[in-house]
Structure 1
């Protein structure tokens, strides 16, 4: 938002304040300033009157002019502008003047003729060509006849201005107008705002425009009709203030609507009344409806867009851009002015979908002042009456829903507690008065939020923020936050941190991916498909849904790195997944290529199911949990023979396995293994406490057994029987071989198991170990029909 200092002075007395002081006040108490600069930086300029203009004796395009630069003082200047003429008022740069680009004006001779200055165009004063009227783009700027000779042309044109370009956050829509900035600055400087006063004269003829609103997205739509307007150039002060605001002057009617937009923050639209007719219907667009906008582009509309029509065709995309069919032209005689309030969300959606961003849409989509709509319409009609010689017809036609006031409450004690200040009631009330709050009470306040403060929510937090801004952040004392609790991680936070440390220590890289995904990936690797959460306004369809699994994002990370010749990859991620009913913390991993290798030592450890399962076993062991792995053949996009569900305390907490070869091939991530755990479920499990055990001082004894058992018997069942039988002495159990083939029946398999035994009270003798082994074999035979090979 570009703010003109000259314009602010219409509302506040800024005498005695330098540009630097205002810069600091705005920065410290209102908002950040992106840039601050003078609109022009020229010296030694004057307004001149061309008393005589003759052709140069030695040139076919130069003129020798006698110009009155002060009353009674004439100077000769050679000028090459094609529009130079006798009787014109011009901008003269006298000798000693310095123009932009460090261009210094000196007396000189041009083709033998003396010249004591230069007649200037606006571009030569530093005004961008886009702001210059077509008639003056190829010549010098000709001033109006009432321009006073000898005066400063920058002051006369309103170009002696200083501009603050405010960097506004999305919530501060109240600062998207000169009046809004003036109110906030006045509160900062403890000054009073002088509201703009005007008197509108209506004719006896009635406004004949009939308005019908067929959508709830437009609670207020008002019109005025102005007849017999004269389309011409705007007054110099209007053009200068529009230029300072970054808006190109066009003609008086269009400029006035833009002028009111920047001054009051109310977007307006002007229709050519003769092209419009006498009927306006505000409705939602039909799917596929087409309108040609002011930029001469045909745009296809969607259901949900708001359009202004004459009952038949769409004439304007409401809140975004007008249509070409009712555009104001040099032939326009009668004008219908529109001032409305449109709901922010549909305007934002339309603007983004059409790729149209305008000053109007910026304000509508951030919310405008509902109460200011009527005043802005009357103000624009007044300006058209004054500067376009128009006749304002009697009456405002349209519809208007009642304004709903917003209220909130706050106490002095609450303000001091949040800010760490010690303000008394008088100080708080003085700040409220500066801000223009309508409040009741003392110490405990009921506040009626001003309609112009669209940024304020009906909550005490925004009120406290306003108090802090006005009091000054630098004045708030630095104190430690008061709390009765010592800082510490919660048990859940400790679980998450432990998982991160354990996996990182195993040289697995942590990834952080987007929480948003697309519709195609939404249900990949999900056990139960639940209703997804879709964003109302996604930036792109690839990021339209909240994810329900971490694995698709990790696979995309694998694919991204493999496409860049990184082949040995291992990642984990801890993050939330989302459904319409819940959000849950998950831990997932993805592995591809070699998990470990050493060219020097000559070993390689390729990723496979058992490696990833081993990683999880280490993780669970350090969390003091005992997982059970069971076959899981029917999970979507997972290999049916190489996937297992993970069960702890009888509850499924996740799964591990190989990505289905078909899916992996389609996504260029062959031989990839993944796991995903529900950390909320793991946290709810019965975590046993770690118990201290003394190191045995007696030697251990190891025995290897080859157990033959039916193929349907799982390895876990065998291990459970062994542990149950010899839990007093067994310290380690490892399965190191699986054999099926010669000397083993077709329906059987042989498992090789290494057992380690210790007795903390004595050295185990051979007879003791034989006794333990016999107990194990007897129990295996009785329960599983297993025997030694």
Structure 2
């Protein structure tokens, strides 16, 4: 909310302060009591002869393409020719002969360092400039010059003090961000009270000022509020014999402009002024255009309303409308209707000051995309008690500046009408609760003083031998509902900076669990291997499962659907890590990164069976074991997985060589890297598992338990998702790996190895992994390592067969191994490979 400093301090007695606060001081005061001040915009003063001028004559210069006028302006004795008017060239057309304007004469320096001098332009000599609002720093409007209300000042009067631009009395505008739970602060009344609290200064509530308007018996207009209409209070006052030509006084116009509101007419400007001053949105109806009684009700089927922005809107049955015999004439709490709009001929005005249920106004404003200033306040709750003072204030202003007559009667209906409002709930708070929460011993009486400052009624009471406060919050603070809210008020007014920052003491723990350490080690191992960690979205789109080509009965299709997803396209909890990782690949490739190796360690949701019912747990005590068990039972299983994707070059090309593209074998090697962290032997076998390529997919087992898949993704999947060709991926379930307390470590022997090579000829349909497993088992404890280093297929190997060359490393942990021992172990390994896999030594 934009607030002029001169208006903000109008109801605060700051005279007792040693030094009057500046705009920056007031901003600091608001920040101190918990508000965010987004900007402090001082009004830049004007130096030189800035005067009020009266337009005496306008000559239209028609020889130019755009409208140009040569004006004779009476500036008193301040012009270059004291005996005559000043000649000024102006391009604006929103003023006429007889209007009062603001003229910057030669020698004036306007905001922004813009100097004014006499100069010849458009064939005339212009002795100054007639100023617009933005040129004076009073707003952003440059559509026309500023026209002052008649009688504001005599021609030649110094305009700087009138505009609040004097160097000796500078004004400023504060832009205050108001939280949704503090709707009362969207007004001078609310923010002024907060500033008064910050300085401990007396505050005069503008809503408590007697406006001196009639308050006789009877109603201003017959108004009926139907049940369920979301109307809390409806106050109406009527003013008659209003002068439709009466201008808005300059002081009010200036405050509206600085508050960010465009002046329109006296009746409309008064309602906007009262809204900014008291926080009560108002609406003015042309009473002569209302037919019959006013009824507040829910909208009926097929009803429409043309709002003040000249848009015909189809209303919803959930909307609340203000109606007469003709139908809706206003959208409650949001915007009025065009049929009863106040016009330039309106002399009979019905003023509405109503309060509405916040949720109803919020739904209506969003449904019709009408974020008005009134709706902004009603959404945050408006004080029902201020409706009558606001109506009186508006009526008094119209009577004073528009020569209107205020009728005797006042209409006041609704559940919160005067005399029928429900009693405010009382809150009991322990006297020392603020001290215990803040860890600070506040001075005696601080809680009572601060709560009274914000408008609460406080009584001291004792219960069960403990002293306490019984607090009745004011009508403008519906956010105060429990002791914690009262504690917050005390703490923020006493100053958050007075609360010491002390780290809580805690007992030393046992550190990370073995599973946590292994998980971290997996991330480090993959990073060391050349992968980069990413944090993809934990949500996925249902369409990605179809893109993967998963069968209907695949367990990954059973996913938890989000009731309120952040992204409508990603409405499922991910059952696999691949969608998020592949999204990261697509994003990086689109930005020119072609060679990628990405990984992520995280949880997936794999629901199985019917989950238990959701359990609501309070925050006042620790959940019981039964509640925790019920909560866990309601959650789907969430296994920890690691996934990785590779695309482009695994080894970059350069002067050292051509490089090497990433292949399915690199994905399998990533799985070996993860398995090595757990010290688990990995068995690899071919498999068919979507979304991998059926001929380039490996199933990965540890001790006979399937723990993941790796390989190259299916070409159709890559095409559908827009991925590069030959993209590879691996996904492993870490929860299926054995977690032992003994960390995996290499066994180092001080004795030399014996290196032997064997070339085996085996059928091509026998997996290399099977032959390797047979060699390991047959070689026994002496076989330290097996590595395939050559594959040959050709005529010498035979049809349907291939030659596999393995490097075997033998070593004994306690002695130097003899060649005979190593040879015997090699022969045993070859024999077992021949028995199980049909392999034979190549001759």
TM range (shorter): 0.7 to 0.9
**How far is the alpha carbon of 1:457 from its aligned partner?**
7.8
**TM-score, scaled to structure 1:** 0.78
1:103-252 matches, within 5 Å, as: 125-128=136-139, 130=141, 137=144, 141-145=147-151, 161-168=171-178, 173-196=183-206, 197-199=209-211, 201-202=214-215, 204-205=218-219, 207-212=221-226, 218=230, 220=232, 222=234, 224=236, 226=238, 228=240, 230=242, 231=244, 232-252=246-266
The 1:600/1:532 distance shift into structure 2, 3 A limit, reads: same
SS of 1:759 mapped into structure 2: coil
Does 2:593 align with 1:566?
yes
Give the equivalent residue in structure 2 for 1:78.
86
Tell me what 2:528 maps to.
505
Determine if contact 1:554/1:589 at 8 Å carries over to the other structure.
Answer: yes
Answer yes or no: is the 8 Å Cα contact 2:35–2:177 preserved in 1: yes
Using a 3 Å threshold, how does the CA distance of structure 1 residues 772 and 425 change in structure 2: closer, same or farther? Answer: farther
Instruction: After TM superposition, list the pairs within 5 Å mapping 1:22-41 onto structure 2.
Output: 22-39=26-43, 41=45
Matches within 5 A, 1:481-520: 481-485=504-508, 494-514=517-537, 520=543
- Report the more deviating stretch, 89-98 or 156-165: 89-98
Are residue 394 (structure 1) and residue 448 (structure 2) matched?
no
Q: What is the match of residue 693 of structure 1?
A: 747
Shift of 1:174: 4.4
1:502-581 equivalences in 2 (<5 Å):
502-514=525-537, 520-521=543-544, 527-535=556-564, 538=566, 541=568, 549-574=576-601, 581=635
Partners of 1:302 and 1:607 in 2: how far apart?
Answer: 59
Contact 1:516 1:547 in 2 (8 A): yes
| Secondary structure, aligned partner of 1:329 | coil
SS in 1 for 2:557: coil
Which ranges of structure 2 fall in alignment gaps of 5 or more residues?
A: 60-68, 549-554, 608-633
Deviates more, 1:525-534 or 1:486-495: 486-495
Tell me the equivalent position of 1:589: 644
Higher mean alpha-carbon deviation, 359-368 vs 514-523, is at 514-523
Q: CA deviation at 1:181?
A: 1.2
What is the distance in 1 between the residues matched to 2:562 and 2:801?
50
- The reply to whether residue 674 of structure 1 matches residue 729 of structure 2 is yes
User: Mean Cα displacement is larger for which, 752-761 or 771-780?
Assistant: 771-780
Q: Which residue of 1 aligns with 2:552?
A: none
Q: Check 1:740–1:126 CA distance in 2 against 1; reply closer, same or farther (3 A cut).
A: closer
Q: TM-score, normalised by structure 2?
A: 0.74
Shift, 1:621, TM fit: 0.8
Match of 1:762 among 785, 791, 815: 815
Alpha carbons 2:74, 2:155 under 8 Å: kept:
no
Query: SS at the partner of 2:226?
Result: strand
Distance across 2 between alignment mates of 1:430 and 1:650: 73
Select which of 485, 493, 497 maps to 1:470: 493
State the 1:747 CA deviation.
9.1
3-state SS of paired residue (2:588): helix
State whether residues 4 and 173 of structure 2, in contact with CA within 8 Å, keep that contact through their aligned partners in structure 1. Answer: yes
**C-alpha distance in structure 2 between counterparts of 1:628 and 1:229, whole Å:** 96
- Describe the superposition over 1:280-305 as per-residue Cα deviations: whole angstroms up to 9, x where unpaired: 4544797x987544333456777877
- Please report how far the alpha carbon of residue 149 of structure 1 lies from its aligned counterpart in structure 2 after TM superposition: 9.0
1:605 matches 2:617:
no
Pairing 1:368-387 to 2, within 5 Å after superposition: 368-369=382-383, 376=390, 380=394, 383=397
Distance in structure 1 (CA, Å) of the matches to 2:668 and 2:300: 57
What is the deviation of 1:434? 3.9
| Residue in structure 1 matching 2:373, options 348, 351, 359 | 359
1: CA distance between counterparts of 2:684 and 2:467?
A: 64
Cα distance in 2, alignment partners of residues 107 and 626 from structure 1: 93
CA offset at residue 617 of structure 1?
A: 1.1
Q: Is the aligned partner of 1:337 residue 2:337?
A: no
Shift in alpha-carbon separation, 1:511–1:117, aligned structure 2, 3 A? closer
Q: How big is the shift at 1:614?
A: 0.6
Q: Secondary structure at the match of 1:728?
A: helix
Q: Residues 688 and 127 (structure 1 numbering): CA distance in 2 closer, same or farther, change over 3 Å?
A: same
1:2, distance to aligned residue in structure 2 (A)? 0.8
Instruction: Classify 1:148/1:201 alpha carbon distance in 2 versus 1 (closer, same or farther; 3 Å).
Output: farther
